[in-house]
Amino acid sequence: MGTTDVLSTSLRLTHSRLAERLEAARAMAAPPGEPRRDRQRIDAFLGEASKHLHAVDAVLVPRIRRELPDGDELVHDYVHAVRALEVVLAHVKAHEYGSVYESSFAWPAVWSDVDEAMADQHRREQDLGERLTDALDDGDLDRLAQRLRSAERAAPSRPHPYTPHTGLLGSAARRVMHTADRFWDAVEGRMVPEPQQPPKPPPGRIAQYFLADPHFDPRFEQEEGPARH
């Protein structure tokens, strides 16, 4: 059982950042003559959300299935929630680019669907993180959080609800879709931000010693400085 919540914290930070992206996309307040500004905010939200969902499929879902006795049931329910969210995100992109099939929907209804689907997916994802925290030791959790961040950088940048999500077929589909998405992002001039990395903790005293890069406590220097003179 892990004594650190590094994985759950990483998931919470990601969803906090996605919530900020969503609010920026929802604002729809581009200056006159710059309609592309709205698309940039929507693209940033869709791109980062898609990368995170694909990374969770690649990294967390297999461990849940292997480590937990009810892993198959958890994965089944989670993948169902992810597909529902990806369908909604695909509607957002189609609405953004003016698909005729979206003409009967207004933006408020679209964003309302996003809110509902994201809340369900977030709840299930956070549960997966907590269950893994209970099942794995600290080293495994730290490596898993790092793998998740690495997978986000190499994940597809668009929602793909109808491709396989798990197993070997899921891995193959993500590789193919990553290449295809990069091509179409370039063709459309679509800006997809790289997922942000959490700040690394400062090195401890032992690490500072071996790196020959000591960082003295400024409070100590302030307190001892006058006495030395």
Q: What is the pTM of this model?
A: 0.81
Round to whole Å and give the CA distance between 226 and 110.
Answer: 64
The whole-number pLDDT of residue 191 equals 76
Residue that wins the pLDDT comparison between 83 and 30: 83
Is the per-residue pLDDT at 142 higher than 60? yes
**Residue-by-residue DSSP string for 148-184:** HHHHHHTS-SS--TTS--SHHHHHHHHHHHHHHHHHH
Calculate what percentage of the chain has a pLDDT beyond 70.
Answer: 78
Is the per-residue pLDDT at 222 higher than 50? no
Round to whole Å and give the CA distance between 212 and 229.
Answer: 27
Q: Mean pLDDT throughout 116-134? A: 96
176-187: pLDDT as tens digits:
999 999 999 999
Residue that wins the pLDDT comparison between 188 and 82: 82
